[in-house]
Amino acid sequence: MTRVVGQEFVVHLFAPSEGPHAAEAAHALRTVWQECRRQFNMNEPVPGTWLPDVPPTVFEESAEADGGERTLAAQRHHTLGLQAVLRVHHDVLNLSVWCAAPPGTEAPEPWTWWRDLDLRWSRIVERHAPYFLGEARLYFARLDDGPVSADPALYAELKGLLPDTAHGLSSAGVASPGGFALWETALEPDDRALRRFVVALTSEADEAASAWAWSDRGGTELPSLARYLLHAAKLRYQLLVWQRDSRARTLRATLESLSAGIRERRAAPGAKGGPATAQWAEQLAEHLADARILRSELDTLRRTVDIASVNLGRSFDLTGMLVPRGPFTDDRALARSMLERLDDELGYLSAAIDKAEQSAPAKRETPMSADDTSTAPTSDRARNVFVVHGRDEFARSQMFVFLRSIGLNPLEWPALRARGGNASPYLSEVIREGLASAQAVVVLMTPDDIVRLHPDLSKRPAETLPSMQARPNVLIELGMALMTHPTGTLLLKLGEQRPISDIDGLNYIDLDDNQACRQNIISGLRAAGCPVDTMGTDWLSEGDFAGMVAKMRRPEEPPAPARSSRPAATSTSTAQSA
């Protein structure tokens, strides 16, 4: 029987740094960080890392630094083997925690270290779990002799030391070239957000296991296994999102039903259309808009899955580790299955859209009585304008003032959120509601971001030097608007911005404080079918276009941070110091 002489517990948490729930996720990680200080007495910086032991106030700004990956903070217990490291990796926040038994601790029979730590940790994170992309818990077992193999009998012995909640249909064991073995404690369900792994090793494999799962020679960079698990968490989170959204099948059935109904009415003897047919056509047009948005969302989801799948293979060398029923094989099979199923879903949805477009009228009419002066979004769609904007709140508010001065109704975000009947709607749901409710879309491109192309990809200074650009959400929503409102989308540009090749051919209006600019906007809105009211002269001055200082923004290079050699932290156990 194998003798366990030490146990360690490592956690990797992953949370979104962008998106509709980024603020809640950031708050959750800060709370967990504070609980590590309070419950584990991690209350001092990690020597040799030159990192603060307090997270930054704003995570999002930190994501822009160091090529999208940066270590933000590190803390430890003064004497015990307890550490926590906070990082940002592009659009994901990562909190890693390491807990080891104090040096010289006498081995109990049986070991309860895993059980005790897992229970304490679960109490810390369980209420925050809805805001995480995923979590991985690693249970390290140090054995008294080697070599270590992925023997099922060894896992059967170690399994009895796990917390009761960790038991399930386990994976096959994977033998690492570094001299240790790994098992995932449960391979089901596919959309599991919490994953648990057992790692067995002897002292000879300490350095290799630490570099793989915690820290490479005392560095604070994201270790290769954590990088892999991050992309796997993204993959499984996308599966969860997709499974929650069952709109595709419903939309396909609705489009097919409405299309068939319109064709039957047109084919009927003496058919001349009429109010009933017009109503069906209106419903078909609205569901077509929903279907086009959903197709765009599914296409984005597919690209996300594809990127995650590629990044899994780039995280570390999987040679010899893709064994049947192994955890890494399971991830690869899930990615392949999701891509195939998404391709099928997109194909069926596109076919339904094509068929519906053939049944839809060439030009949709929006009947409106002559005495209808209501401005409520639900009763007067022709006056509704959905405004796509970035972070410049002043520019957004003044555009709303101008639109109201010409009798239109710019759709407010809180009202759109409330329409869906969901207290916490997804961002895409609110955008879809706004596009479906609007007669026209105004895309306000303000220079909010500083961007540049990596010098490896171009030698042209115009591409590699910093320049201004609209926020990514503006560009994404612009694409969605062009799909749903191809002739009803106005592109307004403020200040100097980096050219975007995919939209270079689109006409846009330079936003400026003159009558010609305002008249150009009005002409575009009228062409989109909006009943613009220019009676009087208020529209000539309402909306402070002159005060939009964004047109003066220029890229500024931040000062280079002072760098110095950082001595590697010491290691006293399997997981080296951060």
DSSP 8-state secondary structure symbol assigned to residue 107: P
What is residue 562's predicted lDDT score, i.e. its pLDDT? 42
Nearest 5 degrees, angle CA 385-CA 389-CA 390?
170
Give the span between the Cα atoms of 408 and 441, in whole angstroms: 12
What is residue 88's predicted lDDT score, i.e. its pLDDT? 93
> What are the residues whose beta carbons fall under 8 Å from the beta carbon of 519, sequence distance 6 or more?
none
Q: Are strands 134-143 and 92-100 parallel, antiparallel or unpaired?
A: unpaired
Buried b (16+ CB within 10 A) or exposed e, 320-357: ebbeeebbbbbbbebbeebeeebeebbeebeebbebbe
**Residue 228 neighbours by CB distance under 10 Å:** 24
DSSP secondary-structure letter at 217?
Answer: T
Ranges for all domains in the chain classified under CATH 1.20.58: 245-359
Whether residue 92 contacts residue 61, with contact meaning beta carbons closer than 8 Å, is answered with no
Distances (CA, A) of 60 to 69, 85, 91, 199: 12, 17, 9, 34
- C-alpha distances in Å from residue 375, one per residue of 282, 372, 382, 404, 411: 20, 9, 9, 10, 11
Q: Where in the chain is the domain with CATH 3.40.50.10140?
A: 381-552
- The DSSP output letter for 61 is H
When the candidates are 3.40.50.800, 3.40.80.10, 3.40.50.10140, 3.90.1310.10, the CATH number that belongs to 381-552 is 3.40.50.10140
DSSP string, 291-338: HHHHHHHHHHHHHHHHHHHHHHHHHS--TTT--TT-HHHHHHHHHHHH
Instruction: Reduce the DSSP state of residue 177 to 3 states and report it.
Output: coil
Q: Which residue, chain included where needed, has tokens 């990796």?
A: 89
Whether residue 399 contacts residue 443, with contact meaning beta carbons closer than 8 Å, is answered with: no
**pLDDT of res. 42:** 94
Q: Report the candidate in 331, 174, 329, 318 with the shortest Cα–Cα distance to residue 237.
A: 331
Say if CB 167 and CB 190 are below 8 A apart: no
**Dihedrals φ, ψ of 469, to 5°?**
-155, 155
Tell the residue number behind the tokens 């964004």, with chain if given: 550
What span, in angstroms and rounded, lies between the C-alpha atoms of 518 and 509?
10
> What is the C-alpha to C-alpha distance for residues 576 and 198, in angstroms, rounded to an integer?
18
**Do residues 239 and 340 touch, judged by C-beta distance below 8 A?**
no
**Range 245-359 classified under CATH 1.20.58:** yes
This model's pTM is above 0.75: no
The tens-digit pLDDT sequence of the chain (578 residues) is 667 888 899 999 999 988 778 888 999 999 999 999 999 999 999 998 899 999 987 765 554 545 578 899 999 998 888 999 999 998 899 999 999 876 656 666 667 889 999 999 999 999 999 899 999 999 999 898 777 888 999 999 999 899 988 888 888 899 998 899 999 999 889 999 999 999 999 988 988 999 999 987 778 899 999 999 999 999 999 998 888 777 788 888 888 888 887 777 777 665 555 555 667 777 788 888 888 888 888 888 888 899 999 999 889 888 889 999 999 999 999 999 999 999 998 898 888 888 888 876 654 434 333 333 333 333 368 889 999 998 888 888 889 989 988 989 998 877 777 666 566 677 877 888 888 889 999 999 998 888 888 888 877 776 778 888 888 888 888 888 888 888 889 999 988 888 776 666 677 888 888 888 898 899 889 888 898 988 878 888 888 888 787 778 888 654 444 433 333 343 334 343 33
